[in-house]
Structure 1
Amino acid sequence: MSRIGKKPVDVPSGVTATVNGQDVNVKGPKGELAFRVHDEVVVEFKDGKVSVQPRTESKGARSKWGMSRTMVSNLVEGVTKGFEKKLEISGVGYRAAVQGKELVLALGYSHDVKYPIPEGIEIKCAKPTEILISGIDKQRVGQVAAEIREFRGPEPYKGKGVKYANEFIFRKEGKKK
């Protein structure tokens, strides 16, 4: 039995959730999100809660049960609070700045890296070495953060590069004489 899947998702006031077959639509103060639940899972909305149950007791249905409940929970959380990821840049001369609809990164290459900011995502640079990515869709926020980190991932010797704020970089010892 899925411990996560058993819990119904509470829909707070100010948020409207509609379930139409396998489609779940959630509208809140920050925007609107939709998710199509897998056919092996049943979704129903009653008494201000969205509950998810497996259609059968097969292994496939049970494995999709908890994931579907978490996806619906992320929809509700996204339209109420939103999601954010924080990236840190370390290295001499490494910096970031938002110019119009582009994030411009100086990461030690011979040229600046220009990353176009996708729709529905907001990027802020409070300091030249910090990037704050926010939006209502958890998957897109994480994907944008991963794409930015990929331009120059942290290296293990000096720790230079782009890393997540809570990420620990395992440091290696350099060459010995």
Structure 2
Amino acid sequence: MFAPRTGRQALRRALAASPSQTVTLPSFLVPAFQTQPTTPISTTPTPTQTPSARRNFSATTHCASKLGRTPLTVPPGVDLEISDLFYQKDMTSYLKQYKRRVLVKGPLGQLELDVPEYVNINHDPATRRIELSVRDQNEKMQREMWGTTWSYLNNHIMGVSEGHTAVLRLVGIGYRASVESRPEKEEYPGQQFVCLKLGFSHPVEMGLPKGMKASAPQPTRVLLEGINKHEVMQFAAQIRRWRVPEPYKGKGIFVNDETIKLKAKKIK
């Protein structure tokens, strides 16, 4: 680091050729020029050479998932049915993946969730508590799916018991929303459509997915209700895509508590 390789070799030759002369080196250079004695490599570990002497880059241990290790409480009126393992073909992998299906039933409906085989679900009907665990906490994939499965299962339990909602706010001059029926465009009987006026030359009409409800308590508010949180938020994102909030005037469609930081006007 401090001298070229040729310079180091020349200094070592000079030190070996004149042993009678006293040559002093700075203290920080002494370890660099010390020669290590060569010892034969042995396959059996010696008392001074143990596997514990090696130090990894990180000495911290893998922590358990904060969500995964938290017990879930099943509210009254909600039942869970856990099936046996079954084989499910994955188009992105050639490995066989076994999963178990969890059926969550409640007063508002029922939902299904496929759980990997390495995630164990301990359901106690007497105390109405659910505890999740994984087979090996040292594997990254299992630690990731531990908390993810907990979140999905919690959303399903909340959905069939209380439901999920999303509130859309229309900010802009002339932006209006209403919920109407279009018999000529229905995909299933009784389908409702969210009709939006967003400054285009035509109104935007979007049909609600089956099992979801919508209402317009105000001309600039849309309330979406459903038991599946993923479907509710996905449909809200599709509506928001028509008018994404812009940072100069603050106009657009905002979902729930979404905010945007305004920018200063561009001056040429």
**TM-score w.r.t. length of structure 1:** 0.95
CA distance in 2, matches of 1:81, 1:59: 33
CA distance in 2, matches of 1:24, 1:122: 25
Whether 1:36 and 2:114 are equivalent positions in the alignment is: yes
Q: Cα deviations across residues 150-169 of structure 1 (Å, max 9, x unaligned)?
A: 11111111111111231111
**1:132 maps to what in 2?**
223
Aligned with residue 80 of structure 1, among 136, 161, 166: 161
Aligned with residue 104 of structure 2, among 13, 23, 26: 26
Aligned with residue 158 of structure 1, among 243, 249, 253: 249
**1:142 maps to what in 2?**
233
Whether 1:8 and 2:71 are equivalent positions in the alignment is: yes
Larger radius of gyration: 2
Aligned with residue 113 of structure 1, among 199, 204, 216: 204
Where do 5+ consecutive residues of structure 1 fail to align?
Answer: none
Greater strand share, structure number: 1
The letter of the residue matching 1:141 is V
**Per the alignment, in what secondary structure is the counterpart of residue 67 of structure 2?**
helix
The letter of the residue matching 1:75 is H
**Per the alignment, in what secondary structure is the counterpart of residue 76 of structure 1?**
helix
Q: Percent identity?
A: 37
Runs of 4+ in 1 over 6 A off after TM superposition: none
**1:45 maps to what in 2?**
123
Whether 1:64 and 2:127 are equivalent positions in the alignment is: no
The letter of the residue matching 1:124 is S
After alignment, is 73-82 or 48-57 more displaced?
Answer: 48-57
The letter of the residue matching 1:67 is T
After alignment, is 98-107 or 167-176 more displaced?
Answer: 167-176
CA distance in 1, matches of 2:258, 2:109: 30
**TM-score w.r.t. length of structure 2:** 0.64
Is the CA contact 1:26–1:33 (under 8 Å) kept in the aligned structure 2?
Answer: yes
- Decide whether aligned partners of structure 1 residues 11 and 165 sit closer, same or farther in structure 2, where only a CA change above 3 A counts: closer
**Per the alignment, in what secondary structure is the counterpart of residue 126 of structure 1?**
strand
CA distance in 1, matches of 2:255, 2:155: 21
Displacement of 1:120 in angstroms is: 1.3
Q: Cα deviations across residues 23-53 of structure 1 (Å, max 9, x unaligned)?
A: 1111111111110012331223224222211
